[in-house]
């Protein structure tokens, strides 16, 4: 009996599991190969007998003879504007060239299906990037907080002075480069940054050896205080305010804000799980045989808390996706020429008759969030 | 023990608000010149029509708003930068001086040049080859209490959030009007969703393996995944007009905010409330049930069963009570987030609340109103988080003893 069970274990998961994994895979495929699925340029063509791939590199020589061999399934790219269109066109209607708009067009004649495929890329890019960064940063900080606790790190007056002044001069140097001075070249700036880091580290190391009186640095308490402060702030309003001032249409600011919003969750859960793991005997044995702290954290603690952090990563992904869609819906955040699910949704508000603008991107968003939620639920019940 | 808990909560509340005020002020101060120009436009002053009058008005507003003072208690600036560049009230001169300083020139030379400056001569052409060596080296200045941040804090703590640059009304008045709507909406939202999810939970918790419990579990997982703004847009498109033949809730949106009381418009809140309450119930029941699953595994349930206590009473009196305690912080947090998170709902259903005001002031670049809303919502959300923490500790005395 038991051997049969182990053989069948791969197919014994509920239907929802396969559905959600399939959908997530589809979004990933749409994101990676979207350029080849929906594009107004052919995938393979010959120009004067020479094989070309216009999807990647589109410039033909003027006057050359072009033969198109393989065209994408959807003959529109996300920003192709159909000039014959006066208002949004219903699904399954053809334009004057006889090309089919499977999901219709938006109000200025961009194909909705192509936009949805592009939206998958945006989701993976923004949410994936910010979740990845906050996963790495947040879980490392959280593990360090739990590992060192409130009593392990001791600094004296001199080393504390080096630490603080190093931080201040680091901030000053960035401000100097971006706000005040146009005289500093990039190389000078980089050398300055390295110099500050080197002097700070050197000062701390030397003064740690010299000093006798040292104070406890409550790393854990400080970190938790900061996490609580970030959590209790109205994040959405702060994001809106920052975007309107600094980052309209900037990828960098958007990802930065999402990382800022999401990483406290990673810090909290990494810390809580590490506190549970750290009592185990193998950690103490590792310390006893002299494994360094960094190796202990990365090789022995991190793999043990990875499962729980994975669930948090899925939840953070949901939050990022929702946030990005909401910001695009309000018309903030992404660059103007980009297309995303939230942007298509927002266009439906100007014309109530075009139901396809609200149904299709909304369903895509809903299925994505549902699959992630389902996976979270499934993994939690299994654990 | 309890007194110290309250004290620590109050100090962390004050600290968080202070920190947030610093960030908000830093953001606000980047818009100083833009805000003066907005006020000038609102007063009908145009640069192209009468430059002299425009300039005197600009300089008056500049001094009145304390923009000639230092930004903060102290500043760390590059060596060639004087701490008092802000005291130049003429915007054109100030900007060209800043440009020259950024190129590394000495301020004393610039000042001499300005005094000697005849009309119509470019400042740039007079200032060649006088750069300071190592101009990027930092210098520390102490300004004392004569700074913009201190004046701003004093204004805000006395309730003066300045005037809106869209229509010239006091920001606090606008926020007060919007707040009444948001409070009405959020209160109704919280009451309905808590009461309904209580009854729903009572019906499910007596047996977590019943078909009813499983179905509602799946439905709440589905509902949790629906983005609120998508459901709201769907509701607006299908249910508020006759184009699709199912227009049940006609005349959505609150356009006229004068005269009539909030109660006159209450029927118009039905559809938005429906959307929000459905989604909230899904979230609350899901959270509580996740805790309840663990609660059922505990030995005291076995004791109750062996005493012959029925499923209904176990579910209602023991499981529900013990599962709600860990979710208190979640629920108070969701109240705090409902105040700010109803932005999209308010924009879509056109309710003139805080979120709608925020959205409008974003579109109009109305920074005074934006700052006011941000500051007040920080105070409210931080307050609710602290309240949730205190309630949680009071409801669960185990933590107090530890």
CB atoms closer than 10 angstroms to residue B75: 16
Conformational region of residue A233, where left means phi above 0, alpha means psi within -120 to 50, and beta covers everything else = beta
Q: What is the pTM of this model?
A: 0.88
In whole angstroms, how far apart are CA A232 and each of A238, B176, B242, B381? 12, 22, 43, 6
Residue with tokens 């609120």: B228
- Residue A29 has a pLDDT of 94
Q: Which of A352, A366, A370 sits opposite B243 (nearest CB)?
A: A352
Chain B: closest CA distance from residue A329 (Å) = 8
Say how far apart CA B60 and CA B237 lie, in whole Å. Answer: 50
Backbone angles phi, psi at B6, to 5 degrees: -60, -40
Burial (CB < 10 A; 0-12, 13-18, 19+), residue B251, is exposed
Angle, alpha carbons B366-B385-A246 (nearest 5°):
30
Residue with tokens 């109803």: B342
B319's tokens: 């499981």
- The answer to whether the CB of B46 falls within 8 A of the CB of B123 is no
Say how far apart CA A314 and CA A131 lie, in whole Å. Answer: 9
Query: What element of type H or E holds A215?
Result: strand A215-216
In whole angstroms, how far apart are CA A358 and each of A347, B47, B211? 8, 45, 33
Query: What element of type H or E holds B7?
Result: helix B2-29
Report DSSP state, residue A350.
G
CB atoms closer than 10 angstroms to residue A332: 20
pLDDT tens, residue by residue, B260-314: 666 677 778 889 999 999 988 998 888 888 888 888 888 998 999 899 888 888 8
B138 closest CA partner among A228, A160, A360, A169: A169
Q: Which residues of B touch A272 (CB under 8 A)?
A: none
Conformational region of residue A370, where left means phi above 0, alpha means psi within -120 to 50, and beta covers everything else = alpha
- The answer to whether the CB of A106 falls within 8 A of the CB of A88 is yes
Q: Which residues of A touch B374 (CB under 8 A)?
A: 234, 237-238, 241
User: Which positions 348-367 of A are in contact with B (Cβ < 8 Å)?
Assistant: 348-349, 352-353, 355, 358, 362, 365-366
To the nearest 10 degrees (0 to 180), the angle between helices A235-245 and B354-363 is 10
B263's tokens: 């109660």
- Residue B324 has a pLDDT of 78
User: What is the mean pLDDT for each group of 10 consecutive residues in chain B (402 residues)?
Assistant: 75 90 90 88 79 87 88 86 80 81 74 61 53 77 89 89 84 89 87 90 85 89 90 90 82 64 75 90 87 87 90 85 76 71 85 88 89 89 84 73 54
Cβ distance A233 to B135 less than 8 Å, yes or no, reads no
Backbone angles phi, psi at A364, to 5 degrees: -55, -50
Say how far apart CA B379 and CA A240 lie, in whole Å. Answer: 17
The nearest alpha carbon in chain A to B338 belongs to A234
Note the helical H segments in B44-90.
51-64
- Chain A contact present for B395, CB below 8 A: no
To the nearest 10 degrees (0 to 180), the angle between helices B211-224 and B171-205 is 150
Q: Is A45 helix (H, G, I), strand (E, B) or coil?
A: strand
Conformational region of residue B116, where left means phi above 0, alpha means psi within -120 to 50, and beta covers everything else = alpha
Question: Beta strand A93-94 with A100-101: parallel, antiparallel or unpaired?
Answer: antiparallel
Helices (H), strands (E): how many in chain B? Answer: 19, 2
DSSP line for B120-178? T--HHHH--S-BPTTTTSEEEEE-TT-BHHHHHHHHHHTT---B-TTT--BHHHHHHHH
Interface pTM, i.e. ipTM: 0.86
- Residue A46 has a pLDDT of 81
Q: Which residues of A touch B378 (CB under 8 A)?
A: 233-234
User: Which positions 326-345 of B are in contact with A (Cβ < 8 Å)?
Assistant: 336-337, 339-341, 343-344
- The answer to whether the CB of B167 falls within 8 A of the CB of B368 is no
Burial (CB < 10 A; 0-12, 13-18, 19+), residue B49, is exposed
Conformational region of residue A290, where left means phi above 0, alpha means psi within -120 to 50, and beta covers everything else = left
- Chain B contact present for A62, CB below 8 A: no
Q: Could you say which residues of chain A have pLDDT below 70?
A: 1-11, 57-58, 85, 181-183, 247
Say how far apart CA A30 and CA A120 lie, in whole Å. Answer: 6
DSSP line for A118-178? HHHHHHIIIIIHHHHHHHHHHHHHHHHHHHHTTTS-EE-HHHHHHHHHHHHHHHHHHHIII
Report DSSP state, residue B128.
-
B25's tokens: 């002020």
Q: Which residues of B touch A330 (CB under 8 A)?
A: 344, 347, 359, 362
Residue with tokens 């100097």: A176
A68 closest CA partner among A38, A46, A49: A46
Cβ distance A180 to B102 less than 8 Å, yes or no, reads yes
- Residue B117 has a pLDDT of 59
Cβ distance A358 to B378 less than 8 Å, yes or no, reads no
Backbone angles phi, psi at B252, to 5 degrees: -80, 155
Q: Provide CB contacts within 8 A for B39, sequence distance 6+.
A: B61, B163, B165
- Chain A contact present for B290, CB below 8 A: yes
Q: Provide CB contacts within 8 A for B331, sequence distance 6+.
A: B194, B284, B388
Rg (CA), chain B: 29
Q: Is A19 helix (H, G, I), strand (E, B) or coil?
A: helix
Q: First and final CA of chain A: distance in angstroms?
A: 24
Cβ distance B227 to A229 less than 8 Å, yes or no, reads no
A127's tokens: 């949410």
Mutate one of B136, B333, B389, B390 to test the A interface: name it (highest A CB count within 10 A).
B136
Q: Give the residues across from A46 on adjacent strands.
A: A51, A67
Q: Give the residues across from A185 on adjacent strands.
A: none
Q: Which residues of A touch B27 (CB under 8 A)?
A: 241-242, 245
A161's tokens: 């002075």
Say how far apart CA A157 and CA A114 lie, in whole Å. Answer: 61
Q: Which residues of A touch B107 (CB under 8 A)?
A: none
């Amino acid at each position: 009996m038991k051997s049969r069970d182990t053989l069948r274990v791969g197919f014994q998961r509920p239907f929802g599991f396969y559905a959600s994994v399939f959908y997530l895979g589809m979004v990933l495929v749409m994101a990676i190969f979207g350029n080849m699925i929906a594009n107004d340029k052919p995938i393979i063509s010959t120009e004067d007998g020479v094989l070309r791939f216009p999807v990647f590199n589109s410039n033909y020589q003027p006057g050359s003879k072009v033969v198109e061999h393989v065209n994408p399934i959807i003959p529109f790219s996300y920003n192709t504007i159909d000039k014959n269109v006066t208002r949004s066109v219903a699904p399954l209607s053809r334009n004057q060239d006889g090309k089919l708009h499977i999901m219709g067009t938006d109000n200025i004649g961009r194909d909705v299906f192509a936009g949805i495929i592009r939206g998958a890329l945006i989701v993976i890019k923004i949410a994936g990037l910010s979740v990845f960064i906050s996963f790495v940063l947040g879980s490392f900080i959280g593990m360090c907080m739990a590992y060192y606790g409130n009593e392990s790190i001791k600094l004296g007056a001199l080393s504390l002075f080096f630490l603080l002044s190093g931080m201040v001069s680091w901030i000053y140097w960035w401000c100097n480069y971006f706000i005040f001075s146009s005289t500093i070249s990039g190389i000078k700036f980089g050398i300055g940054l390295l110099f500050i880091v080197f002097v700070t580290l050197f000062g701390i190391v030397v003064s740690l050896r010299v000093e006798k009186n040292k104070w406890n640095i409550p790393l854990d308490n400080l970190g938790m205080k900061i996490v609580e402060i970030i959590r209790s702030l109205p994040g959405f309003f702060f994001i809106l305010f920052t975007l309107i001032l600094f980052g309209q249409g900037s990828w960098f600011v958007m990802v930065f804000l999402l990382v800022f919003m999401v990483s406290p969750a990673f810090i909290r859960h990494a810390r809580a799980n590490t506190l549970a793991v750290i009592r185990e005997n193998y950690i103490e044995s590792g310390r006893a045989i002299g494994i360094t702290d960094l190796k202990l954290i990365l090789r022995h603690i991190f793999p043990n808390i990875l499962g729980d952090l994975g669930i948090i990563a899925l939840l953070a992904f949901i939050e990022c996706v929702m946030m990005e869609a909401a910001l695009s819906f309000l018309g903030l955040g992404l660059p103007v020429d980009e297309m995303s699910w939230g942007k298509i949704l927002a266009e439906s508000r100007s014309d109530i008759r075009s139901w396809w603008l609200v149904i299709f991107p909304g369903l895509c968003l809903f299925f994505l969030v549902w699959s992630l939620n389902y996976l979270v639920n499934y993994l939690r019940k299994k654990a | 023990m309890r007194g110290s808990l309250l004290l620590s909560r109050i100090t962390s509340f004050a600290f968080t608000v202070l920190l947030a005020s610093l960030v908000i002020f830093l953001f606000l101060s980047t818009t100083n010149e833009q805000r003066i120009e907005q006020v000038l436009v609102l007063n009908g002053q145009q640069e192209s029509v009468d430059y002299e009058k425009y300039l005197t008005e600009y300089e008056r507003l500049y001094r009145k708003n304390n923009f000639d003072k230092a930004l903060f208690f102290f500043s760390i600036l590059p060596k060639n930068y004087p701490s008092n560049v802000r005291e130049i009230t003429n915007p054109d001169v100030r900007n060209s001086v800043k440009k020259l300083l950024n190129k590394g020139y000495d301020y004393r030379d610039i000042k001499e040049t300005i005094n000697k400056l005849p009309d119509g001569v470019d400042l740039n052409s007079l200032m060649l080859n006088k750069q300071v060596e190592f101009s990027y080296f930092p210098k520390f200045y102490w300004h004392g209490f004569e700074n913009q941040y201190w004046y701003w804090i004093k204004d805000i703590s006395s309730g003066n959030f300045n005037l809106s640059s869209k229509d010239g009304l006091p920001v606090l008045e606008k926020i007060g009007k919007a707040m009444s709507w948001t409070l009405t909406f959020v209160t109704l939202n919280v009451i309905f969703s808590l009461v309904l999810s209580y009854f729903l939970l009572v019906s499910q918790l007596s047996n977590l393996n019943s078909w009813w419990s499983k179905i509602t579990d799946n439905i709440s997982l589905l509902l949790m995944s629906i983005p609120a703004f998508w459901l709201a847009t769907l509701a607006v498109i299908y249910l508020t007009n006759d184009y699709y033949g199912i227009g049940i809730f006609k005349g959505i949106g609150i356009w006229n905010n004068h005269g009539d009381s909030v109660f006159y418009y209450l029927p118009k809140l039905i559809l938005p409330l429906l959307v929000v309450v459905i989604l909230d119930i899904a979230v609350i029941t899901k959270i509580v049930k996740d805790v309840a699953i663990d609660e059922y595994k505990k030995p005291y349930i076995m004791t109750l069963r062996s005493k012959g206590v029925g499923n209904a009473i176990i579910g209602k009196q023991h499981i529900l009570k013990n599962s709600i305690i860990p979710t208190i912080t979640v629920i108070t947090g969701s109240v705090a987030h409902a105040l700010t998170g109803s932005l999209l709902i308010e924009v879509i259903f056109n309710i003139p609340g805080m979120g709608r005001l925020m959205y409008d002031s974003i579109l109009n670049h109305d920074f005074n109103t934006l700052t006011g809303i941000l500051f007040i919502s920080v105070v409210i959300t931080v307050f609710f988080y602290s309240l949730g923490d205190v309630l949680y500790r009071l409801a669960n005395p185990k933590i107090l003893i530890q």
